[in-house]
Structure 1
Amino acid sequence: MHFLAYILIYPILWLVSILPFRLLYAVSDGLFVLIYHIIGYRKKVVKENLKLAFPHKSDAELNKIRKKFYHHLCDMVLESIKSLTISEADMKKRFTFTNIEVIQQLEDENRSIALMCAHYGSWEWIFILQTYMKNQGYAIYKRLANKYFDGLVKRIRAKYNSHLITTKETIPVLMQLKKEGKVTICGFVSDQSPKAERAFHWNEFMGITVPVHTGAEMLAKKLDMSVVFFGVKKLKRGFYETTFTTLAYHPNEYPDYAITDRFLDLVEAQINEAPEYYLWTHKRWKHRDKVPAEYQKNV
């Protein structure tokens, strides 16, 4: 069944991917009408999240952000499909870096890098970063149920010397690479909610105390990886600009969770500047009523 789904859907995805961008975004506009006005995909979740994050904004302001978010979400879906066939030159034109030297300097100093980001702007095209680097890149991801589409996603990333590894594979793979003396860069999308009962740390995010993923920081300390945040700014439709911020050169010089908290501060700054580009469909604040006693003072 999985193979049948793959051979039926893949040709459609490929045909969409070869559309020129003007037509691609026309398809995105049609998709917006479908998921926003007809299906209403997660509209209740998005509305609740926006109210929680921006309690002082009016309903009119929140509705404006919500519609802009859905337009951006549809663009992201189509841009992800475009990754199938987009050329390296075109991607470099559309996903640029303001200070690539930050990453290149760390690489020249034989520092492995834990690259932290949020579900903000565009994280799909960050893999073009590998074309500016000598060493191999890895990204943590959740394996797709359909092994054929899972393999397709891996092949797309591998075009730029990036490789996807699951959460369970992360520690053994990176530890083995360190043992072999290899310098790597590993990407972590660290803004979503962990399970409350497994959280080691809680802190405020958009003014609400929530459990926080600390895996990137803890792994960076274990393997002595420099920690870098990449922030994304959407310049216009289909064009993004990325800026790197070094959070820690030697992470073990920082108290536990200080790096993670700084990461959250930078994510908040992005959201406050242009909230429509954050991924509001996830239930980021679903554990806000389970705050442990030791963190109650932050509520």
Structure 2
Amino acid sequence: MQFVVFIFLYPLIWLISILPFRVLYIFSDLIYIIVYYIIGYRRKIVRSNIALALPNLSQKEQLSIEKKSYRHLCDMFLEMVKTMSISEREIEERFVFTNLELYQNLEKEQKSIALLVAHYASYEWIISMNRHIKFEGFAIYKRIANRYFDKLVRDIRSKFKATLITTKETIPTIQENVIKGHLGVYGFASDQSPQLHKTYHWTSFMGIETPVHTGAEMLAKKFDMNVIFLRVKKVKRGYYEATFELLCDNPQTVPDYEISDEFLRRVEKQIHEAPEFYLWTHKRWKHKINSKRRKN
């Protein structure tokens, strides 16, 4: 059955991937109408998340962010599909790294790197950084249930020489690379909610006490990796700027959870600047302590 679904949808996906961007975004506008108004995909979750995270905004302002976030979500999904056919020149123009020298200077230290990113703006096109680095780039992702679509996503995200590894493969892969003396940069999207039985730390995120992923920090400490944050800004439709920010170059000397907390502070800053570009569809605050809010 999985194969039948894949065979049925793959031609459509391929046709979408070869559309010119101008036509692609017209198609995105149509998908937005279907996803938001007709299907109502996760609309209750999005509305609840925005109300929790941005309680100072009026209902009208929250609704505006909600609709804009769905438009961006549809754009980003089609941009991921477009990666199948996008040229190197085109992605260089559309996803610009503003300070590659910061990253490249860290490579000279001959230490692996933990790259922390948020589900914000375009996290799909971050893979294009592999054209500018010497270390092998590893993108950590959650496996898709349909194995044919899982392979398709792996192929799309691997186009620019990114190596995809699942969450379960992360520790064995890093350990093997350390033994072999193989340096890498490991991409962690650490702003989503962990499973409670895997939770080691709670902190305030958007003013809500919630469990957070600390795996990137703990692995950076264990294997002495430099830790950087990649801030992505949406300049206009289909165009992004990405800026590297050093979080820590000696993680073993930093008290536990400080790196994870600082990462979330920077994600918060992005969200407050332009909340419509955050991925609100995940149940980010499904485990919270009495909706407790941080006091200013």
TM-score bracket relative to the smaller structure: over 0.9
- Are the counterparts in 2 of residues 140 and 170 from structure 1 also a CA contact under 8 Å? yes
User: Which amino acid in 2 is paired with 1:52?
Assistant: L
Query: Aligned to 2:143, what secondary structure does the other structure show?
Result: coil
How far the C-alpha of 1:287 sits from its partner, in A, is: 0.9
How many Å separate the matches in 1 of 2:106 and 2:210? Answer: 32
Residue 106 of structure 2 corresponds to 106
Normalising by the residue count of structure 2, what TM-score does the alignment of the two structures yield? 0.96
8 Å CA contact 2:209–2:293 kept in 1: the answer is: no
Structure 2 Cα separation of the partners of residues 71 and 220 of structure 1: 35
Q: Pick which of 142-151 and 17-26 moved more.
A: 142-151
Task: Tell me the secondary structure at the aligned position of residue 28 of structure 2.
Answer: helix
1:22 maps onto 2:14 in alignment: no
Does residue 5 (structure 1) correspond to residue 5 (structure 2)? The answer is: yes
Unaligned runs of 5+ in 1: none
| 1:255 partnered with 2:219 | no
Q: Which residue is equivalent to 2:282?
A: 282
Q: Aligned partners of 2:64, 2:227: CA distance in 1, in Å?
A: 35
Look up the equivalent residue of 2:9 and give its one-letter code.
I
Structure 2: segments with no counterpart, 5+ residues: none
Q: Which residue of 2 aligns with 1:241?
A: 241
- What are the residue-to-residue correspondences of 1:183-202 with 2, within 5 Å? 183-202=183-202
Residue 77 of structure 1, CA deviation: 1.1
Map of 1:35 onto structure 2: 35
Aligned twin of 1:47: 47
The 2-side partners of 1:108 and 1:172 are apart by 25
Report the residue type matching 2:23 in the other structure. Answer: L
**Deviation at residue 156 of structure 1 after TM alignment:** 2.2
What are the Cα deviations for residues 174-223 of structure 1, in whole angstroms up to 9, with x where unaligned?
11111111110010000000122321000000001000100000011111
- Counterpart AA for 2:123: W
Quick one: which amino acid aligns to residue 288 of structure 1? K
Which residue of 1 is the match for residue 95 of structure 2?
95
Report the 3-state secondary structure (helix = DSSP H, G, I; strand = E; otherwise coil) of the residue aligned with 1:93.
helix
Would the aligned equivalents of 2:208 and 2:293 in 1 still touch at CA under 8 Å?
A: no
Shift of 1:290: 6.8
How far residue 33 of structure 1 moved from its aligned partner, in angstroms, is 0.6
SS in 1 for 2:240: strand
> What one-letter code is carried by the residue in structure 2 that aligns with 1:259?
I
1:203 and 2:203 equivalent?
Answer: yes
Q: Would you say 1:66 and 2:66 are equivalent positions?
A: yes
Give the TM-score of the pair, scaled to structure 1.
0.95
> Residues 138-168 of structure 1, C-alpha deviation per residue, up to 9 Å, x if partnerless?
0111111222221222222332221111111
* Aligned residues: CA RMSD: 1.5
Mapped partners of 2:97, 2:293: distance in 1: 40
Measure, in 2, the Cα distance between the counterparts of 1:212 and 1:7: 38
Residues 196, 290 of structure 1: 8 Å contact kept: no
Which AA in structure 2 matches 1:128? S
Letter in 2 for 1:69: S
String of CA shifts for 1:24-43, please: whole Å, max 9, x gaps: 00000000110111111111
State the match for 1:143 in structure 2: 143
Distance in 2 separating the partners of 1:97 and 1:195: 33
Contact 2:201 2:211 in 1 (8 A): yes
Are 2:118 and 1:131 aligned?
no
Indicate the percent of aligned positions where both proteins have the same amino acid: 54
Distance 2:49 2:14 in 1: 34
Aligned 8 A contact 1:46 1:66 in 2: yes
Aligned length: 295
Measure, in 2, the Cα distance between the counterparts of 1:201 and 1:161.
Answer: 34
- Alignment check: 8 A CA contact 1:203 1:298 kept: no
- Give, in whole Å, the separation in 2 of the partners of 1:185 and 1:144: 23
Match of 1:153 in 2: 153
Three-state SS of the structure 2 residue aligned to 1:245 is strand
TM-superposed CA distance for 1:297, in Å, is 10
**Cα distance in structure 1, aligned partners of 2:280 and 2:108:** 37
Runs (4+) off by over 4 Å: 296-299
Supply the distance in 2 between the matched residues of 1:217 and 1:102 (Cα, whole angstroms).
20
Q: Partners in 2 of 1:56 and 1:205 — Cα distance? A: 15
